[in-house]
Amino acid sequence: MAASSTSTLMLPQEYRIMFEAENSHWWYRALRCWLEHVVRRYVSNDGWLLDAGCGTGATLALLQSLNYKSLGFDLSLSGLQFACNRDHMFNKLCCASVTNLPYSSNSFTGIICADVLYLLHDDDEVNALREFKRVLRPGGALILNLPAYEWLRGEHDQAVSTQRRYTAKSLRQKLRAAGFEPLRLEYRYMMFLPALALVRRVLRSGKQDAAKASSDLTLNFGLLNSMLTYITHTEERFGRFIIRPFGTSVCAVAKVSH
């Protein structure tokens, strides 16, 4: 996950946890399922895709398996080191900030920015969206996934240095202010919202030391992970035909408005 030089970065150990969890953890598997669907639907494969804040490279690996030409960057050398361990990945990567993209204007048919913007301070978020608009080709798609609802904040948010959480309304406003028009805007992980809200409320006990905070990914779910994988994949299949009105994540597909 990328950030600007003036923004907070995830704790270094989070990249190791992410790399080890991405193949099997239900949350990441559901994210890739959704990304595969929206990429196939909204992004042509006759150009290049950019993974903005590629982290440890799992989304790039997905795009590679779908035969999309892709590049990725991250500000964190910790994340890039893990990404370089993936097959055929080294020459796709660079170290850069979302607020100052090292690419020419109109370079990409699509940009994926999954769980990155919420790490940025307000001015950097505006600059990042401006840069995305600059490097997108006419008709190109911006694909975003972000954490929903400020009242869902928990220890995980401290571990990954969350600056804000979003609603569909706030995300729509930010996209339009930056010159994008949402094509699809909805929530994800709808079925988990009541349970997560309850757990976060029970566990919330005032301010915690961010250096000691742990990610949700440190939990070893075992059989529960398999059950959650089945539930989220079922939701994703039905979610292709309905707009989910609430959930623990909010996502968007947007194009540059004319």
pLDDT in tens, 25-77: 988 999 999 999 999 999 999 999 999 999 999 999 999 999 999 999 999 99
User: What is the arithmetic mean of pLDDT over 221-248?
Assistant: 85
Residue 8, token pair as written in the block: 């907070």
Domain-by-domain residue ranges, the chain?
A: 12-256
Quick one: pLDDT at residue 13? Answer: 74
Which band of pLDDT confidence, cut at 50, 70 and 90, is reported for residue 5?
very low
What length does the chain have?
258
Edge-to-edge strands of the sheet including 108-114? 93-95, 69-74, 48-52, 108-114, 136-147, 249-256, 180-188
What is the average pLDDT score of the chain? Answer: 87
Quick one: pLDDT at residue 160? Answer: 75
Helix (H) or strand (E) holding 146: strand 136-147
Taking the model in full, what pTM does it have? 0.87
Quick one: pLDDT at residue 6? Answer: 46
Quick one: pLDDT at residue 15? Answer: 83
Quick one: pLDDT at residue 141? Answer: 98
Q: Is the pLDDT of residue 246 over 70?
A: yes
List, in sequence order, every residue forming a beta bridge with 103; answer none if it has no partner: none
Quick one: pLDDT at residue 10? Answer: 65
Q: Higher confidence at residue 228 or residue 2?
A: 228
Instruction: Please give the share of the chain, as a percent, with pLDDT higher than 90.
Output: 58
Helix 26-42, helix 223-239: angle, nearest 10: 20
- Between CA 124 and CA 122 the distance in angstroms is 5
Alpha helices in 43-154 (DSSP H): 58-65, 77-83, 122-135
- What is the distance between the terminal CA atoms of the chain, rounded to a whole angstrom? 30
Q: Residue 108 gets which letter from DSSP?
A: E
Helix (H) or strand (E) holding 33: helix 26-42
Topology of 12-256 in CATH?
A: Rossmann fold (3.40.50)
- Between CA 146 and CA 152 the distance in angstroms is 12
- Between CA 218 and CA 25 the distance in angstroms is 10
- Phi, psi torsion values for 219, nearest 5 degrees: -75, 135
Helix 58-65, helix 26-42: angle, nearest 10: 50
Longest dimension (CA), the chain: 51
